[in-house]
């Protein structure tokens, strides 16, 4: 069942998502050669708890950490570890929080030091795919309008969309209906309505789309070893478009 949230619920969602955005911004500023993903994880958990929130991922189906930190060919669900990041890496940092009964979720992929032109291009294409997806969210639209916008942009640049993992609704649970694939045919899927809250998250591979999950049961990697990038925002459908709840500059935007 897809839930449309009341104005009061949306403000509570805005509060927790604003916190997620603020912590992610600090993590982005902390990423550097020599910093480990375990360092980022400890900082994220400390900041969330200081703000009166709980990590949404830690303990979720047994996941052991506050953030997912996926480096280079890792697509999503990378488990933080003590290995220092090195110059030229890219790292996806995905984080969720729970506060006052509501959830927030956002992700960004960050260059570590100086990265290759190919890595920069992958980050730009994936970030822009998210922007294009958000731009089509409006009441009366369809869920697959979102995936179609991502797929068209990504494939036009010669990259591949990951199909095994999808975006999702979010609210009083971390993952709610509808599922939001990053591919599809515009005009299909559930109809969007004011008050729906969606976590939109393109996952894009520089090579082929195929992925596999490692022996830890969590970390998904590209089968061909190519780089992968991941960006995510949580948005709420408004009367005229959508409101992005996880902007890291702390300014709430209206996308129309």
Residue 249: pLDDT band with limits 50, 70, 90: confident
Q: What is the pLDDT of residues 148-202, one digit of tens each?
A: 999 999 999 999 999 999 999 999 999 999 999 999 999 999 999 999 999 999 9
**Residue 253 predicted with pLDDT over 50:** no
Nearest-5° angle of CA 75, CA 203, CA 129?
150
This prediction's pTM? 0.95
Q: Residue 10 and residue 216: Cα distance in Å, rounded?
A: 36
Residue 50: is the preceding peptide bond cis (ω within 30°)? no
Neighbouring C-beta atoms of residue 252, cutoff 10 Å: 15
Q: What residue ranges do the domains of the chain occupy? A: 7-255
CATH of domain 7-255: 3.90.230.10
- From first CA to last CA, the distance across the chain in angstroms is 26
Q: How many CA atoms lie within 13 A of 78 on its CB side?
A: 29
User: Strand pairing of 253-255 and 220-222?
Assistant: unpaired
Residue 101 CB-half CA count within 13 A: 5
Say how far residue 146 (Cα) sits from the centre of its chain.
14
- Indicate the helix (H) or strand (E) that contains 16: helix 7-30
């Amino acid at each position: 069942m897809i839930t449309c949230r009341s104005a009061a619920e949306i403000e509570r969602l805005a509060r927790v998502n604003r916190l997620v955005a603020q912590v992610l911004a600090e993590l982005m500023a902390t990423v550097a050669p020599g910093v480990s993903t375990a360092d980022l994880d400890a900082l994220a958990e400390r900041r969330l708890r200081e703000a009166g929130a709980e990590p949404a991922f830690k303990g979720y189906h047994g996941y052991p950490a506050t953030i997912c930190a996926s480096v280079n060919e890792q697509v999503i669900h990378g488990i933080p570890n003590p290995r220092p990041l090195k110059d030229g890496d890219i790292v996806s940092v995905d984080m969720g929080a729970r506060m006052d009964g509501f959830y927030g979720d956002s992700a960004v992929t960050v260059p570590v030091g100086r990265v290759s032109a190919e890595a920069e291009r992958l980050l730009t294409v994936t970030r822009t795919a998210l922007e294009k997806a958000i731009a089509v969210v409006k009441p009366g639209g369809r869920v697959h309008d979102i995936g179609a916008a991502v797929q068209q942009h990504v494939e036009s640049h010669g990259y591949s969309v990951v199909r095994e993992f999808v975006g999702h609704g979010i609210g009083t649970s971390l993952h709610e209906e509808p599922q939001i694939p990053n591919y599809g045919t515009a005009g299909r899927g559930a109809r969007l309505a004011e008050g729906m809250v969606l976590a939109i998250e393109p996952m894009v591979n520089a090579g082929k789309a195929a992925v596999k999950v490692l022996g830890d049961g969590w970390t998904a990697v590209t089968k061909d070893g190519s780089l992968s990038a991941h960006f995510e925002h949580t948005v709420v459908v408004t009367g005229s478009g959508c409101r992005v709840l996880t902007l890291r500059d702390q300014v709430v935007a209206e996308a129309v």
